[in-house]
């Protein structure tokens, strides 16, 4: 993978260097795009790569074998905390059944009430194995607030929604991306550092990200 990334990086830097001489970007030569092509890997390899990136980013990760196990894991994670959720029909694994008899808010609720939720619960339109990023396409029933306002964000991921690169996802789901009101790319918990490099989590978004990956 490192060789492919290095080749892609070299292609980009070569074009930039040439543009400095020509004052314009040169055409992309077909033979120079090999490192930018889509990557097709077995599902198990994608999952392993994704888990490694999640570990590096500090994302709490659970991989479950079936829908029942996903719901059980989600129930344990939620405990008795309040939840700001995507609409139930947008959650995979019939996860809405776990939210019954709980304190759950949706986008129709007042923003102040939404902000009071302990946990944000969403599905996931794509998980990018190369970077450990979650891609969420906003739209009706899929508010951005669910992944931005609460300090803790739980995302439910289907293995069929794991792609190696962002370009793989765009190639496959370009139409859905173009129709979304907004696209959020979440790479680990929100973090920032001051001039003394003191790291602070959760300043601009959730300070804790948990993913539950089902079949």
Each of the 215 residues of the chain gets a pLDDT tens digit; together they read 555 556 777 777 777 777 666 555 555 555 544 444 456 677 778 999 999 999 999 999 999 999 999 999 999 999 999 999 999 999 999 999 999 889 999 999 998 999 899 999 999 999 999 999 999 999 999 999 999 999 999 999 999 999 999 999 999 999 899 889 899 999 988 877 777 777 777 777 888 999 999 99
pLDDT at 22: 59
Number of H helices, E strands in the chain: 6, 12
CA distances from 2 to 9, 31, 35, 183, 212 (A): 10, 19, 11, 27, 28
Query: What is the model's pLDDT at position 14?
Result: 77
Q: What is the spatial distance between Cα 185 and Cα 87, in angstroms, rounded to a whole number?
A: 20
Burial class (CB in 10 A: 0-12, 13-18, 19+), 186: buried
State the pLDDT at residue 36.
Answer: 47
Specify the pLDDT at position 56: 93
Predicted TM-score of the model (pTM): 0.78
At 44 the pLDDT is 76
- Of 26, 2, 8, 31, the closest CA to residue 16 belongs to 26
Q: Give the Cα separation of 126 and 157 in Å (integer).
A: 8
Q: What is the pLDDT of residue 82?
A: 96
CA–CA separation, 140 vs 115, rounded Å? 19
Question: Which among 136, 120, 119, 118 has a CA at the least distance from the CA of 128?
Answer: 136
């Amino acid at each position: 993978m490192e060789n492919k990334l290095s080749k892609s990086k070299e292609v980009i830097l070569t074009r930039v260097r040439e543009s400095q001489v020509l004052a314009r970007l040169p055409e992309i030569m077909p033979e120079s795009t090999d490192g930018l092509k889509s990557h097709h890997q077995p599902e198990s390899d994608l999952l392993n790569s994704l888990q490694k990136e999640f570990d590096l980013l500090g994302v709490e990760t659970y991989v479950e074998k079936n829908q029942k196990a996903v719901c059980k894991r989600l129930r344990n994670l939620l405990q008795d905390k309040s939840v700001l959720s995507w609409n139930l029909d947008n959650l995979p694994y019939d996860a809405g059944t776990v939210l019954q008899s709980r304190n759950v808010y949706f986008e129709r609720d007042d923003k102040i009430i939404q902000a009071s939720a302990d946990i944000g619960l969403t599905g996931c339109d794509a998980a990018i194995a190369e970077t450990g990023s979650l891609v969420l396409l906003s739209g009706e029933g899929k508010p951005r607030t669910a992944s931005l306002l609460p300090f803790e964000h739980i995302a439910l991921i289907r293995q069929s929604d794991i792609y190696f690169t962002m370009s793989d996802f765009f190639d496959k789901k370009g139409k859905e991306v173009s129709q979304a009101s907004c696209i959020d790319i979440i790479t680990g918990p929100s973090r920032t550092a001051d001039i003394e490099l003191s790291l602070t989590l959760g300043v601009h978004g959730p300070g804790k990200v948990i993913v539950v990956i089902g079949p």
